[in-house]
Amino acid sequence: MLITVAVRASAYKVPYETWMGIYVGSSKIGYLSFRVDRVGDTNPSRYRISSTMNNRMTVLGTDVTQVVSTTVVTDNDFNLFLKSSRCPAAAAPPA
* 14-19, long-range: CB < 8 A, 24+ apart: 14/38, 14/47
- Is residue 86 over pLDDT 80? no
* pLDDT confidence of residue 46: 86
* pLDDT confidence of residue 45: 79
Instruction: Please give the full DSSP string across 2-27, using - where no structure is assigned.
Output: -----S-GGGSPSSEEEEEEEEETTE
Contacts of 3 (CB under 8 A, 6+ apart): 20, 22, 32, 53
Q: Is the pTM of this model over 0.75?
A: no
- Is residue 2 over pLDDT 50? no
* pLDDT confidence of residue 33: 94
Query: What is the torsional sign of CA 87, 90, 91, 95?
Result: negative
* pLDDT confidence of residue 93: 52
Residue 60, by phi and psi: left (phi above 0), alpha (psi -120 to 50) or beta? Answer: left
Contacts of 13 (CB under 8 A, 6+ apart): none
